[in-house]
Structure 1
Amino acid sequence: MRLDLQAKSFAGKEILGPIEISVGRGERVAILGPSGIGKSTLLRILAGLDRNFQGRRDGDERLAMVFQEPVLLPWRDALANITIPTGCDRKTAIEWMGRAGLAGHEAKFPRQMSLGQQRRLALARAFAAGPDILLADEPYASLDAETATRMVSLTGELLDRSGAGLILVTHDPNEGAALEARALRLSGTPARLQKD
């Protein structure tokens, strides 16, 4: 995947300036910066969710995204929260739930799971989609330090197992470092990428 961004504006205000970034299968990148700088906006452009920008995005890689919130279907059980969005079969969903430490939770509804379990379910769903690149928008936000550390470790294990690339948006450089991701920092007005 390659992005050659010239500019991104909201209501006439330029938020992101010229940015070039490319990421392939097996590569890991962490996009760092303070809140409000445009990290999530950049990730949405990379994901193809925001097409209202000046520039060009190329690539036919299969993508999966983990959002700041788990974004689960509250009226479906955990297993259906994987099979419905990804189209994978039950066996694949059960395998990824097991890898995410959720074996035995297949029939639970999201409201019956802790936030940490919901985040693991969202991660299992993303990997069950068989992505070439995983896009993660502050997926460990609002978790206590111990749970966040376990989630970072789990993400690394699942990336190693799948061979997927990673674009991680975070304000915590330790998360990127733990995942062996190349650090790029958004700074300035409008924001541009700098090597950390």
Structure 2
Amino acid sequence: MRLDLDAKSFGTRPVLGPLTLSVARGERVAILGPSGIGKSTLLRILAGLDAEYRGRLDGADRLAVVFQEPVLLPWRDAVANIAIPTGCDAATARDWLAQVGLAGHEAKVPRQLSLGQQRRLALARAFAAGPDILLMDEPFASLDAETAARMLALTDALLARTGAGLVLVTHDPREAEALHARPLHLAGQPARLQND
């Protein structure tokens, strides 16, 4: 996947300036910067969710996104929350639930799960899609330190096992380090990428 961005604005307000970002399967990158700098905007462009920019996005990579909130189907059980969006069968969904430590929770709907469990379910759903590159938008926000550390270790292990690449948006350089992701900083007005 390669993005050659000329500019991204919201109305008359420039948010992102010229930048180039390429990520391949197996490569891990973390986009760091303060709140409001444009990290999530950049991720939405990479995900194909925002087409209102000047530039070019190339690549036929299979992508999966883990958002800041789990974004689950509230009326469906855990198995269906994986199977419906990804198209995988129930056995594959159960296998991914087991891999993220949710065996025994297959029949529960999201409101019956803790926030940490909901985030594990969202992570299982993303990996069940078989992505070449996983896009993560501050997925460990609002988790206590112990739960966040467990989620980071789990994500690192799943990335290693599947060989998927990673683009992580975070304000915390320790998350980038825990996931062995090359840090890139968004800075300036409009924001541009800088190597650490």
TM-score tier after normalising by the smaller chain length: over 0.9
Please report how far the alpha carbon of residue 10 of structure 1 lies from its aligned counterpart in structure 2 after TM superposition. 0.2
1:90-118 Cα deviation digits (max 9, x unpaired): 11111111110001100001000000000
Distance 1:94 1:170 in 2: 29
Which residue of the partner structure matches residue 168 of structure 1?
168
Runs (4+) of structure 1 exceeding 6 A deviation are: none
Please report how far the alpha carbon of residue 12 of structure 1 lies from its aligned counterpart in structure 2 after TM superposition. 1.0
Distance 1:177 1:19 in 2: 23
The answer for unaligned runs of 5 or more in structure 2 is: none
Structure 1 counterpart of 2:190, one-letter code: P
TM-score by length of 2: 0.99
Aligned length: 196
Please report how far the alpha carbon of residue 11 of structure 1 lies from its aligned counterpart in structure 2 after TM superposition. 1.2
Structure 1 counterpart of 2:124, one-letter code: A
Distance 1:24 1:96 in 2: 24
Distance 2:22 2:35 in 1: 23
Three-state SS of the structure 1 residue aligned to 2:175 is helix
Which residue of the partner structure matches residue 95 of structure 2?
95
Structure 1 counterpart of 2:113, one-letter code: M
Three-state SS of the structure 2 residue aligned to 1:4 is strand
- State the identity as a percent: 75
Which residue of the partner structure matches residue 76 of structure 2?
76
Please report how far the alpha carbon of residue 148 of structure 1 lies from its aligned counterpart in structure 2 after TM superposition. 0.3
Distance 1:47 1:73 in 2: 20
TM-score by length of 1: 0.99
Structure 2 counterpart of 1:95, one-letter code: D
Please report how far the alpha carbon of residue 60 of structure 1 lies from its aligned counterpart in structure 2 after TM superposition. 0.3
Of the structure 1 ranges 164-173 and 90-99, higher mean CA displacement relative to structure 2 is found in 90-99
1:6-61 Cα deviation digits (max 9, x unpaired): 00000111100001000010000000000000000000000111011000000000
Structure 2 counterpart of 1:139, one-letter code: P
Structure 1 counterpart of 2:160, one-letter code: D
Which residue of the partner structure matches residue 106 of structure 1?
106
Distance 2:75 2:90 in 1: 18
Three-state SS of the structure 2 residue aligned to 1:92 is helix
Distance 2:144 2:157 in 1: 20
Which residue of the partner structure matches residue 39 of structure 1?
39
Three-state SS of the structure 2 residue aligned to 1:76 is coil
Three-state SS of the structure 2 residue aligned to 1:159 is helix
